[in-house]
Chains A and B, each alone.
Chain A
Amino acid sequence: MNDLIFIDIDQLNLASVASMFSLIVFALFILCIGTFKKDLSRTFYTVFCLIAIMLNAGIVIDHNILSMGFFDLMLIDGISVISQIVILTASSLFIPLALSTKPFFEYKVSEFYALFLFMIAGFEFMVSSNNLILIFIGLETSSLALYTLIALHNKIRSIEAAIKYFTMGALGAGFFVFGAAMFYMTTGSTEINVIGEVIQESGLQNSMIATLGCIFMFSAIGFKLSLIPFHTWVPDVYEGTNAPLAGYMSVVPKVAGFIVALRLFESLSHSQIAWVDEMLYISAILTMSLANIMALVQRDVKRMLAFSSIAHAGFVLCAIVVGTSQSNTALFFYWIMFLFANLGAFSMLWVARCDDTVCWDRRFKHPFDKFAGLIKTLPSYAVIMAIFMVALAGIPPFSVFWGKMYLISAAIAEGHIFLAVVMAINSALAIYYYLKLVVYMFLKEPIVSDKNLYIANTSSALKVIVGFAVITTAGAIFMIDFLLEFIASFVLASGF
């Protein structure tokens, strides 16, 4: 009965995991060095991570599009390549933010950097697979690393945030496994494309179990993407996390989540399973509108940005609802545009990070009052922050506007007029709360005149990152042509 299976190493196609593998090797390397050399500075680790990310980007770009490996467990197609590029870009912008002037606990320990690299590897696994099990492993690898990264900030709020996120995430992971199990029960496969085909061919569209699996899956991914009604963790977690990591969380895990949603729901909606389209449609509209309304009443800038990032996620979900290649291109395009503006805004909060002793408000760290009248005390800060706010609001020459425009036009082209109208109304709603900060900064009288409070945390690395974000946000108009073509070539190559 001992049937040994002999597998040729060439069959595995090791090249398909080369990019994740290199990250993991680097992470292990960092752990080893951290054990032997205790007194290495954070500059070393930061630069080392940066090198790992750049090497990895080289491998990703160099990779042939569409290759399978490990018996089709791995699937590197255009979608996976482009999303890996987005993830790596965001990561390389995030990691230099560790070089702030004030030393923080988490940036001193080598584990932070190792976990960070493991997390990226997890995201890369998530986006380059068609198999629910491997996606689940990637999801867990990255989420567990992320919980720890949040907790490493070592403040009472951040530990609270990590535990909140962890419990919610665990629930989401459970849902994911339930969903996968139910799909396996009905179709006998964990491959996304096979699931779709089997459901269509065997007429399982109205099968109770398949529909239930679909709902479980949707809630699991909804947790990751912070869709309403699974959004409740978002503001508290963002508030407790330090600013750059919150910015990172609002961008990168969601890219990975969107890719999974794209692959799964595209396949399911082709199979015409009951309720999928309606579910997505309602959720997209709810997410946009409710999040925007909640953001209106926030008193803290970070919480406001948290709710606004939910609203942006809702916007992008519309791309999946529309489901044409134009809208899929719009998904990536919107998210890249959003990435720069959002990461820029969070880095500006990071710049303004001041001591815990300085208290603006008993409850909040970054209340709107803190920024009042900044144009008089610190004009450059005010202008840069205003650029990010205006860009996020979607006002014409800046980045996110182009994303919104492209997305809405994709929706109209497919005949989703109602969706397009809701999107437009929401854009108008969003302008109010973004402009609220601009109004505070430009039109109110300053409360304190000590400008050093706002730039206590600046260093040259932070300036470079913020400068880069400003240039890409303001000069987005010069990139759109190239970007759209670039993205479209990848998206079309993988047949979405």
Chain B
Amino acid sequence: MLSLIIFFPALAAMLGFLIEEKSIKVYGVCIAFIELLLTLFMWFGFDARQVGFSLVTQIPLVEFLNINYFVGVDGISLFLVVLSAFMTLIGLMSLSEKGNLKHLVISILFLEMTMAGVFLALDAVLFYIFWELSLLPMLYIIGAWGSGNRIYAAIKFFIYTFFGSIFMLVGMLAMAYLSYKANGNWSFSLIDWQNLSLPLKTQIWLFLAFFIAFAVKTPMFPFHTWLPYAHGQAPTIGSVLLAAVLLKMGTYGFVRFSLPMFPDASVELFDTVAILAVIMVIYTALIAYAQDDMKQVIAYSSISHMGIIVLGIFAMNAEGISGAIFLMISHGIVSGALFLLVGVIYERRHTKMIAEFGGLASVMPKYALIFCIVMLGSIGLPLTIGFVGEFLSLAGIFKTNALYAVLGGIGIIVGAIYMLNLFRKVFYGVCDKEENLALKDLNLTELTTLVPLCLLVLYLGVSPNLILKPIDFSVRYMVEKMQKKASERETVWFINDANRVGEQR
């Protein structure tokens, strides 16, 4: 089942070469739709009360190093896979690029495979393969269909992420070697690694090796500079997938690798990470306020939100981590929708500058309404999807350390300021530009892609339990495991403290 989810898009992409240009978009949409159905089947086949991974498949690949094709799903990865299938579908439906559409659709389908692969892999080598493979389609998408300085942006994106992941590869080999020393056989299985106990010093080094890879991908301050470029130049669908899914690979890595494998190191380095995350939240929020390009505003706001996700993850309690994972999903939906909305206006006016617009609400009322709902979701208004995740993440970090929570909260306030400011400048005021008066409102294709996103923003904001329950279950199990595994006393206390409810330290 999981193998089908991973390889179906790739198979379809290869067959896609046979298809003529004019039908390729329908083909892409059909394939993405089927893939979404498959992931939904996976969701129904998933037993939420099962501890550990379900739907596991294991086939040996390289015997003497014990590298396996090993996939499985739990509450943490389940919704990320569904999200990536869903956003791919939405992205393909909204596709409006002209020229060489065939290759674009095919690379997106390949990208879909790698995204599913990263989230479902339970073998480190497999994880690494998909992680690296995900760069190639993205490089091509940004480099070939981007705008402006696209080749520079694509290369920068590639080199940054590749550079980071090299450290991860070293870390992985070290882990495999350590497990060889401990158990007498090489192992790349994440489950084995999570059971391996290591001395503090080794843990810190390995933690750092993995941390760099994930931090670049997330992207954390000070490795974030590739993201605005990549977003700025990428075509709409590239930005959507980049923001909605690819960034989540980094934070997913924190949850899957860093915390359960190196609990002591995570506690030891908690302050460093948290400070970086806080800087990331506030600093990028301020930058976002100063931007005059709509896409850049959203790109920087993404970084800011990712900061809150990192804070939530390193709160090391169930609330924080589940909140962070929920925020990953909600941010995926919201930022994807925002990029689509910008894409809509860019296609009509061929500019994304805020100063070019004003008073659009009177010309494009439907557009303004949808933009408003999504924007409110982005700033985390209660009863929208953004609120749940942000609230839980900050509540989690508040229990661990109140100061960081306050600082993170400031980021949200600034977030409200820049988003509302953007909205004011673009949609209110007098519509005085002549080109803007002639703008057409959303057409049917755009409505079919955007309305489902809006409904999700509202629905999951009102009843988040649908997806929060399975996430929470898996996270609690993981935290428990972390606590058991921790070798240093302080770590145990720390995690205990973080998870205690309603008591003073």
**Chain A contacts to B: CB under 8 angstroms:** 29, 33, 37, 39-41, 43-44, 46-48, 50-51, 54-55, 58, 99, 461
Contact = CB atoms under 8 A, between A and B. Distances in A.
Contacts of B26: 33, 37, 40, 44
B11 A54 contact: yes
Nearest to A50: B15
A39 B23 CA distance: 8
B27 A47 contact: yes
Contacts of A40: 22-23, 26
B466 interface: no
A51 B12 contact: yes
Interface in B1-43: 4, 8, 11-12, 15-16, 18-20, 22-24, 26-27, 30-31, 34
Contacts of A29: 30
Contacts of A58: 4
A48 B22 contact: no
Given A37-B23, A44-B26, A47-B18, 6 more contacts: A29-B30, A33-B30, A43-B18, A46-B18, A54-B11, A461-B18
A487 B27 CA distance: 36
A353 to B, nearest CB: 20
Nearest to A59: B4
Contacts of A37: 23, 26
Closest A-B pairs by Cβ, 10 of them: A44-B23, A41-B20, A43-B19, A40-B23, A47-B15, A41-B23, A43-B20, A44-B27, A44-B19, A43-B18
A483 to B, nearest CB: 23
Which of A37, A47, A54, A55: most chain B CB closer than 10 A?
A: A47
B25 to A, nearest CB: 10
A40 B29 CA distance: 13
Given A33-B30, A54-B11, A58-B4, A47 B16 contact: yes
A362 B24 CA distance: 43
Which of B4, B11, B19: most chain A CB closer than 10 A?
A: B19
Given A40-B26, A58-B4, A51 B20 contact: no
A23 to B, nearest CB: 13
A47 B11 contact: no
A40 B28 CA distance: 13
Contacts, number: 45
27 contacts: A29-B30, A41-B20, A41-B22, A41-B23, A43-B18, A43-B19, A43-B20, A43-B23, A44-B20, A44-B23, A44-B24, A47-B15, A47-B16, A47-B19, A47-B27, A48-B27, A48-B30, A51-B11, A51-B12, A51-B15, A51-B31, A51-B34, A54-B11, A55-B4, A55-B8, A58-B4, A461-B18
A180 B499 CA distance: 71
B6 to A, nearest CB: 13
Contacts of A48: 27, 30
A198 to B, nearest CB: 41
B19 A41 contact: yes
B18 A99 contact: yes
Nearest to B38: A55
B484 to A, nearest CB: 37
B23 to A, nearest CB: 4
Contacts of B20: 41, 43-44
Contacts of A54: 11
B466 to A, nearest CB: 23
Nearest to A96: B18
Contacts of B18: 43, 46-47, 99, 461
Nearest to A46: B18
A29 B29 CA distance: 12
Nearest to A464: B18
Contacts of A44: 19-20, 23-24, 26-27
Nearest to B14: A47
A223 B288 CA distance: 76
Contacts of B23: 37, 39-41, 43-44
Which of A39, A40, A43, A55: most chain B CB closer than 10 A?
A: A43
B452 to A, nearest CB: 18
Nearest to B27: A44
B136 to A, nearest CB: 23
Nearest to B22: A41
Contacts of B34: 51
Contacts of B11: 51, 54
Contacts of B8: 55
Contacts of A51: 11-12, 15, 31, 34
B348 to A, nearest CB: 24
A49 to B, nearest CB: 10
B460 to A, nearest CB: 28
Interface string B27-68: 100110010000000000000000000000000000000000
A96 to B, nearest CB: 8
A40 B15 CA distance: 16
Contacts of A50: 15
A104 to B, nearest CB: 16
A450 to B, nearest CB: 29
B445 to A, nearest CB: 12
Which of A37, A39, A40: most chain B CB closer than 10 A?
A: A40
B45 to A, nearest CB: 12
A495 B478 CA distance: 48
A29 B37 CA distance: 13
Nearest to A41: B20
Contacts of B31: 51
A39 B30 CA distance: 16
Given A44-B27, A51-B11, A39 B19 contact: no
A12 to B, nearest CB: 17
A37 B29 CA distance: 13
A48 B28 CA distance: 11
B1 to A, nearest CB: 9
A29 B16 CA distance: 18
A37 B24 CA distance: 12
A405 B424 CA distance: 83
A32 to B, nearest CB: 10
Contacts of A461: 18
Contacts of A99: 18
Contacts of B30: 29, 33, 48
A491 to B, nearest CB: 27
B41 to A, nearest CB: 11
B231 to A, nearest CB: 32
A29 B26 CA distance: 12
B129 to A, nearest CB: 22
A46 B17 CA distance: 12
